[in-house]
Structure 1
Amino acid sequence: MSGVRVRVPASSANLGPGFDALALALALHDEVEVTRTAGGLTVHVEGEGAGAVPLDGTHLVVRALGAACDLLGLDPGGLALRCTNRIPHSRGLGSSAAAIVAGVAAAHGLAGLPPGPDALHLAAEFEGHADNVAASLLGGLVVAWADTDQDKPRYRAAPLTPHPALRPVVAIPDTQSATSTTRGLLPAHVPHADAAHAAGRAALAVHALTTAPDLLLPATADLLHQDYREPAYPQTLALVRALRAAGTPATVSGAGPTVLAFTLTGTLPPEVDTTGFRIEQLPIDTEGVRITPFD
């Protein structure tokens, strides 16, 4: 194909206790158009990250696309990329995962192949874990893991169907947060009781998200990572606690600082102060990455 258009959704990972394992695709999309040219590379970026992200071979979409082309044995020649970014950067909504998936998917589109398990593994290697990339690639709710009985981890994911009544709401602050920074706040060891709590609540979260949304408040309770990250974004944890106290299941979205609330109405309790946050109701994206080739 001479070119492909790729649309990739945002994602929210962890969903409370499912650290590096659970993620949900959200209907906020980045779009990338990749066109083969006679030679060279051009990158144009509009929207989020414009003027801040690189416009050369170090651009994350370009790097992921190149790695996927190598995997597929494809020489794309010259390329022109046009990126329209709507997913906020460094807010815990999977912007880097979306860029990686966009590049991997674009390479598969140019090769005339659907992205399969190898595409997921490659994207997860770029990201360092599979939850966000799996959600953006597959859509809906995913459980992600790494098989570790080999020389190096093999990343995998299983898609699940989220309950149709769920109406996620995100509260996005102006401040940013780097995953590398917030992961640095996590302890090397946690109490056994906290680990057992996380295992039970993550299992309950799968049941609540797919079958019994009335159980989402206890299912999204976390002792494994959120409180440790409070120094990075105290306002985020304050809003999570206020929402939960008002009966709304709420978590830190990914590495933060965005807050994810699970509602059945698409609204937050009016008594909860959301000053400093932009509130958006984002439907669940059940499709995942969309690839449209053109000649």
Structure 2
Amino acid sequence: MRFTVRVPASTANLGPGFDTFGLSLALHDVVEFETAGSGVDIEVLDAGAGDMGRVPRTGRHLVVRALRAACSRLGTTPPGLRLRCHNAIPHSRGLGSSAAAIVTGIVAAYTLAERELDADALHLAADFEGHADNVAASLYGGFVVAWESGGRFHAERLTPHEAIRPVVAVPPTQSSTHQTRGLLPDEVPLADAVFTGGRTALAVHAMTSRPDLLLEATDDRLHQGYRRPAYPATMRLVDELRSRGVAAAVSGAGPTVLALPYGDTGGRGIIPPDVDVDGYDILEPAIDLDGVQVTEA
């Protein structure tokens, strides 16, 4: 059996929507699967190809671990596998590389079991990741609102406004989600909680209907300020862009910066020429509206 899983990158939080908002980006990892007699054989290409320590070529590979977990949940036995991983999503940059790998493995398990994706696929992916924002965006595409209720993860896909054209500034440095979460307090002031609630609600409206409100809608007091010590250069760029009227936020756990221009202006042109982005890769991925895709050979 041979098939290919194509999964988009994602950016999470979009400012105030911590662990809640996700946006799918047209930057894709593509994994070719082929069943084999036994064992696991993995070839990693492009992003991560030269990082043997961080990207294992064994059953410890995140795609394989997620696949095996899903197979166990589906009551099937995973076969031997050959994988060719064509990675375009930068690792540990806040663009959902781990979530994409988890989604890839779970979707592959469903494909091997000849099962249609269902709500359990989202819950399993989110449970594996620890939160649902990135995995929901990679699964469903578009703009997602995720939540947890009664021990189950859920997400609703919304269609983002067609004028929104994401831009990401990707630095050469990496970030650890575990480290940045460790900087967050257990409690926040009531005024900040109220501010966050209002901006989170406004962001749904801005993302779907009123992109002219994105600058205010992406303002955050809940998490970015507390994590500033982990990526001061990222926060300086976010602050400077916002001071120039550009809706900007930390992408996920960072250190990538997300900007959300809309209309005809986009790309490097939305970053004022006197703003220092030396060393950053400026990318303009479209919003992926389709989510994960499977092609069978």
Aligned pairs for 1:251-262 within 5 A? 251-262=249-260
Q: How far apart are residue 114 of structure 1 and its match?
A: 2.3
Which of 69, 72, 84 lines up with 2:71 in the alignment? 69
Specify the alignment match of 1:168 in structure 2: 166
Distance in 1 (CA, whole Å) between partners of 2:242 and 2:199 is: 15
Q: How far apart are residue 260 of structure 1 and its match?
A: 0.2
Specify the alignment match of 1:35 in structure 2: 34
Specify the alignment match of 2:185 in structure 1: 187
Q: Give unpaired runs (5+ residues) of structure 1.
A: none
Residues 44-74 of structure 1, C-alpha deviations (whole Å, 9 max, x = no match):
1111122231111111000001111112222
The answer to whether the 8 A contact 1:3-1:110 is kept is no
| SS of equivalent residue, structure 1 residue 156 | strand
Residues 211-266 of structure 1, C-alpha deviations (whole Å, 9 max, x = no match):
00000000000000001111111110010011111111000000000000001222
Which of 274, 277, 285 lines up with 2:288 in the alignment? 285
Specify the alignment match of 2:279 in structure 1: 276
Q: Give unpaired runs (5+ residues) of structure 2.
A: none
Residues 98-155 of structure 1, C-alpha deviations (whole Å, 9 max, x = no match):
000000011111222221110000000110000000000000000000013xxxx100
Specify the alignment match of 1:234 in structure 2: 232
Which has the higher mean CA deviation after the structures are superposed, 75-84 or 254-263? 75-84
Distance in 1 (CA, whole Å) between partners of 2:144 and 2:202 is: 14
**CA root-mean-square deviation:** 1.0
Distance in 1 (CA, whole Å) between partners of 2:153 and 2:171 is: 31
Specify the alignment match of 1:80 in structure 2: 82
The answer to whether the 8 A contact 1:110-1:293 is kept is no
Distance in 1 (CA, whole Å) between partners of 2:197 and 2:279 is: 33
Which has the higher mean CA deviation after the structures are superposed, 62-71 or 73-82? 73-82
Specify the alignment match of 1:204 in structure 2: 202
TM-score with structure 2 setting the length: 0.95
Specify the alignment match of 1:247 in structure 2: 245
Which of 56, 60, 63 lines up with 2:62 in the alignment? 60
Residues 164-205 of structure 1, C-alpha deviations (whole Å, 9 max, x = no match):
000000000000000000001111110011011111100000
Distance in 2 (CA, whole Å) between partners of 1:269 and 1:9 is: 25
Q: How far apart are residue 41 of structure 1 and its match?
A: 1.4
Q: How far apart are residue 95 of structure 1 and its match?
A: 0.3
Distance in 2 (CA, whole Å) between partners of 1:72 and 1:60 is: 18
Instruction: Tell me whether 1:140 sits opposite 2:142 in the alignment.
Output: yes
| SS of equivalent residue, structure 1 residue 208 | helix
Specify the alignment match of 1:266 in structure 2: 266
Distance in 1 (CA, whole Å) between partners of 2:3 and 2:271 is: 42
What code does the residue aligned with 2:277 have?
Answer: T
Specify the alignment match of 2:103 in structure 1: 101
Q: How far apart are residue 156 of structure 1 and its match?
A: 0.6
Distance in 2 (CA, whole Å) between partners of 1:114 and 1:198 is: 37
Instruction: Tell me whether 1:125 sits opposite 2:131 in the alignment.
Output: no
Q: How far apart are residue 278 of structure 1 and its match?
A: 1.0
The answer to whether the 8 A contact 1:168-1:281 is kept is yes
Distance in 2 (CA, whole Å) between partners of 1:273 and 1:44 is: 37
The answer to whether the 8 A contact 1:248-1:261 is kept is yes
Q: How many residues align?
A: 289
Instruction: Tell me whether 1:23 sits opposite 2:22 in the alignment.
Output: yes
Q: How far apart are residue 273 of structure 1 and its match?
A: 2.1
Q: Deviation above 4 Å: which 4+ runs of structure 1?
A: none
Q: How far apart are residue 276 of structure 1 and its match?
A: 2.5
Distance in 2 (CA, whole Å) between partners of 1:202 and 1:120 is: 22
| SS of equivalent residue, structure 2 residue 18 | coil
| SS of equivalent residue, structure 1 residue 165 | coil
Identity percentage over the alignment? Answer: 61
Which has the higher mean CA deviation after the structures are superposed, 66-75 or 239-248? 66-75
| SS of equivalent residue, structure 2 residue 259 | strand
Q: How far apart are residue 33 of structure 1 and its match?
A: 1.0
Which of 220, 226, 232 lines up with 1:222 in the alignment? 220
